[in-house]
Chain A
Amino acid sequence: MTDERHAVELRGITKRFPGVVANDGVDLTVTHGEVHALCGENGAGKSTLMKILYGMQTPDEGTIVVDGADTHFRSPADAIAAGIGMVHQHFMLADNLTVAENVLLGAERLHGIGRAARARITELSATVGLAARQDVLVEHLGVADRQRIEILKVLYRGARTVILDEPTAVLVPQEVDELFATVRTMQGDGYTFLFISHKLDEVRAVADRITVIRRGRTVGTADPRTVTNRELAEMMVGSELPSPETRESTVTDRQVLRVEGLGLASPDGGRDLLDGVDLVVHAGEVLGIAGVEGNGQTELVETVMGMRRHARGRVLLNGTDISAASTMARREAGIGYVPEDRSRHALLGEQPLWANRILGFQSRPPIARRGLLDTAAARTDTERIVRDFDVRTPGIDVMAAALSGGNQQKLVVGRELSGDPVLLIAAHPTRGVDVGAQAGIWAELRRARAAGLAVLLVSADLDELIGLSDTLAVISGGRLVGTADPATVTPEELGTKMTGAAT
């Protein structure tokens, strides 16, 4: 049964978390020298499976066979010793350590921490195309370089089997192409890859074989040369792909948000984070902001929300200058805000759902009057959100952290759409949300837009951006560098604009 040709074999892997079965008897076979893709919707259990293979989590049941030998990983150290390396979905880098230190960490035994190690890093930097100096702090580097360091880390440890967990999520198309080129060269050198992505085109372009996982179980394997996107998607969700496309335009000519000459200096004295940003969002319009992550989207959104002070320029809401107003005053003036990181920025994890309904609304009716809170009103309104937005929860007294990500996001969107906002600022509203919830959130956004809501949308998901927006603006280096018509632009064209390659 055991085949020597198999780089990795996972048999009957089961992993239970409190309340979730993340992996339920998963089987996976990866042959030497192949690029093996894993597909599945959010929360399907892909990352968990890979973390098990990488020794970061121990399976409750099942066996791992590497190069024909039964193994038992107690920690990543064991997996690394067995020639397995992993590039995580979220960067695993220490900002305050240098490039070299980040690479060396945990692998000091290989080449020491002196000259030999540096030489080896220099050598491998060329392989992954990293240009940064070794003694530079990682905090000074951009996303693409960080990704390269992550891969460098894996190579430095002499891994032959490399796991790439959603490596392309933060890259623009050109960077994706470069990454794929690297993957192919390395494949030629005999490396084996496990590759995870939600982007089916990418998966089909790079993989030799695809395994689909749904709700913790292996659904089946597919051949990328023959399978279509639609078939893959159906395997993943058991239904058709939802589409973010906006049907008819509801744009009016009433300006809701007007931003003039917005600028923001960098706190450490570097290049300005924002510079001369002008934009207008009309009632009933969705303005999408496209850009490579880290080009000022977060700063733009937070400046408009009043969370970053000392900005230049003006922000007008319905004609009133709110540049000097506090975040609370802006919220009271009718801005709703769905931040990009819900668990850190939108929710109080240890508090019950109804207390989370108060957050951001603690100053105005129906939740509060003259400094006093009306908890009964908060509870009633939370019930409404749970009902209307289909938040799956046994009640409104459970703590927010106990909900799944998608349900948390629905709660946040529901909250921010209550109190009749005139403007919604939504940053990555469906990031990390599963397909069903995604469709629900899109539907709510469209409904509010039809009712005259102005929406400023930031998203890294170009399909979502193109599908939902009435107007698209491209941000790069803290400046708006161009626009695009969502009706005609393709993700590839948009990606080109985002990298500035077109200008």
Chain B
Amino acid sequence: RDTGGGGGAQAGECERVAPPSVPAASARPAPEAPKADASGLKVGLAYDIGGRGDASFNDAAAAGLDRAVAELGLQKANTREATAQAGESEDAGTNRLRQLAQGGFNPIVAVGFNYATGVKTVATEFPNIQFAIVDDDTVDLPNVKPLVFAEEQGSFLVGAAAALKTSTCKVGFIGGVDNPLIQKFDAGYEQGATTVAPQIDVESAYISPAGDFTGFNDATRATEIASGQYDGGADIAFAAAGQSNQGVFAAAQTAQKKAVGVDSDQYNSPQLTQVRDTIMTSMIKRVDVAVYEYINAVAGDTVAQLPARFDLANNGVGYSTSGGQVDDIVPQLEAYKAAIIAGQIDVKSTK
């Protein structure tokens, strides 16, 4: 019987579009801000579920703090970290922030959009304390700085990388939880892939629907989705699934295919050394940069000059090259990057 299986493989050769060329001047990333002295600050950090050590964005925030300690003269003793619990009520988050505020910490960084209401409440109560919130820009208060990212831009680049590297003209996306944040990765990835190879087949799947957070912790099911995509003809899959990513990498290893990591340079993650060869590149979301820059700006009193959004232009997002697997296509990727920075390509955050 004819089953129509095999997907993109039937589409034959994958035709690729040449990258746009952009005058270098209009696409240069912004230079880093000068270092201020943070030795007088007491910094509080409230993590989302997972906390320090999650090898994901909480960890990135922690790295930003650590860098501030290392480079800005911030005293380790003057920092305090607290972590959210799965399924907790909003007042728990609020309370966590309030306790940090009462403990004299200033600034206080809340990691994750779950803290939106908490930040709003506590920032109103403590107008003299500076707050920052990662991944949320809904709190409109003078003492609150949103630290949000253009995830879609970074994802665009890894999508482009996948399209340049695929030999089956079919790539996959695996999201942890089907929520708007992860959908941004999905949308950017797909746009990047189709921009490079218009006929490419992008298959996307999520481990769990919105509101069911198990998707970030279920490597077993991630493996099954990934191997389903690999069996279906995809040869590269982008995993934006938190801890479940390791399941995708394992599937890639079994199927002898490639995967793309997320948030940090997962090739260098000590947890993932056995499977690092499958990690072609990672889409990097520099929460560490944002946190570091924020602390730096508070110390130097330049918060107003921080970018409204961390994107390619200010190195807030990007892609990694560790392992050297994408070295051959760096010029094309850089060209796309320049085009995005220059505004020639507008990356959408929804499909």
A and B touch in the complex (CB under 8 A): no
Binding site for A on B (CB under 8 A): none
Binding site for B on A (CB under 8 A): none
